[in-house]
Chain A
Amino acid sequence: EPEVTQTPSHQVTQMGQEVILRCVPISNHLYFYWYRQILGQKVEFLVSFYNNEISEKSEIFDDQFSVERPDGSNFTLKIRSTKLEDSAMYFCASRSRGDTNEKLFFGSGTQLSVL
């Protein structure tokens, strides 16, 4: 089965530093997402991206966050100045259509630790 690939699997950074989390969605998918999961808590929606622009974002996704699809394959999440509370598992997801019945394919996640 096709996979969503995320790199790195673990990222450790100092507070205030910028981080970029990378994702390669499934090749024929058109809708891309970032979710995060703080340890022991539920998976929370951050942002969705379609046709090279953000289609929806949550309250969590403030000015410190940005997303980009720099080429035809990568989808990145940038945190400009990390805070301790940004420590979480970040999941990238994609789906082929925006239909509500389409399942999301998730990557294996990037564990971000902000020290």
Chain B
Amino acid sequence: AQKVTQAQTEISVVEKEDVTLDCVYETRDTTYYLFWYKQPPSGELVFLIRRNSFDEQNEISGRYSWNFQKSTSSFNFTITASQVVDSAVYFCALSETNTGNQFYFGTGTSLTVIP
């Protein structure tokens, strides 16, 4: 079974639109961590955010915001006023206490921002 599901394979938006990338996870651990990574066309994986399972406060960082809801096992990522430079593949990942050496990645959402 998939531990991290990103149902949206590809999304296209016009510049300045807001866009939300969905992430649903599955775990039996009570302590776990969720991450978002960005993979631009150049290929590297860039860390965006880390969230622990005990902190459900939404976080905002500039145009980026994250909505963590344990009740629905979701950790969604919203980009406000999207820009062309936001075009990338975005991966959601889960790190569990019992399998602390691994990150479980979702399949990624490819975001294209059209100028």
User: Could you list which residues of chain A lie within 8 angstroms of chain B, going by C-beta atoms?
Assistant: 31, 33, 35, 41-45, 48, 50, 55-56, 89, 91, 93, 98-101, 103-109, 111
Contacts and interface: CB of A to CB of B under 8 A. Distances in A.
Query: Among the interface residues B35, B93, B102, which one has the most CB atoms of the partner chain A within 10 A?
Result: B102
A95 to B, nearest CB: 10
Q: Considering the complex of A and B, which 9 residue pairs feature the smallest CB-CB distances, nearest first?
A: A106-B45, A48-B101, A108-B44, A43-B105, A42-B107, A100-B95, A56-B101, A100-B100, A45-B102
A42 B101 contact: no
Residue in A43, A45, A104 with the greatest tally of chain B CB atoms within 10 Å: A43
Nearest to A47: B101
B91 interface: yes
5 contacts: A48-B102, A56-B101, A103-B50, A106-B44, A107-B44
B59 to A, nearest CB: 15
Interface of B: 31-33, 35, 37, 42-47, 50, 52, 91, 93, 95-97, 99-108
Contacts of B45: 43, 91, 93, 106, 109
Contacts of A50: 101
Contacts of A33: 101
Contacts, number: 63
A99 B43 contact: no
A42 B107 CA distance: 4
A43 to B, nearest CB: 4
Nearest to A104: B103
Nearest to B104: A45
A89 to B, nearest CB: 6
Interface of A, helix, strand, loop or mixed by DSSP: strand
Contact of B105 (A44, A56, A99, A111): A44
Contact of B47 (A42, A103, A107, A108): A103
Contact of B101 (A89, A91, A98, A107): A98
A35 B93 CA distance: 13
Contacts of A103: 35, 47, 50
A50 B101 CA distance: 10
A79 B35 CA distance: 29
Given A41-B107, A108-B42, A99 B100 contact: yes
